[in-house]
Amino acid sequence: MKEPTKKITYCDHCYMVTIWKEGHCCECGRNDGASREPSKSQVGGEHYKSMAIQPYEYCERNNLSMLESNVIKYVSRHKAKNGKQDLEKAKHCIDLLIQEYYTDNEREDMR
């Protein structure tokens, strides 16, 4: 019987130098033939992959700042990842946006 094909190389999924057997990483099980396109994979969970549009794509297409993007990210994932903590992170980012864009002087000008 023929031995399974083995190679030792870097896995860009689990970031380990590993042995590959029959096209699969021995560390994480990734299939060597799997898509390496970043938008088709996710490191550290599945909470974005099931969404109709991933937060990064929405944020990029709408030229959102880092803080605005974080609000979208945390609100989008709270049910699938960190629950209330993600909503608190989103709220903190909103508070920072208010501080950054709506100072007391600007509020006076808006009245």
Question: Would residue 45 count as lying in a domain?
Answer: no
Question: Would residue 78 count as lying in a domain?
Answer: yes
Per the structure, the count of domains in the chain is 2
Of residues 52 and 111, more confidence is placed in: 52
CA distance 7 to 10: 10
Long-range contacts of 32-35 (CB under 8 A, 24+ apart): none
CA distance 43 to 47: 10
* Predicted pLDDT at 82: 93
The predicted model gives 60-78 an average pLDDT of 96
Angle at 35 between CA 30 and CA 41, to 5 degrees: 75
Model confidence, pTM: 0.60
What range does the domain containing 24 cover?
6-34
What phi and psi values does residue 33 have, to the nearest 5 degrees?
-85, 0
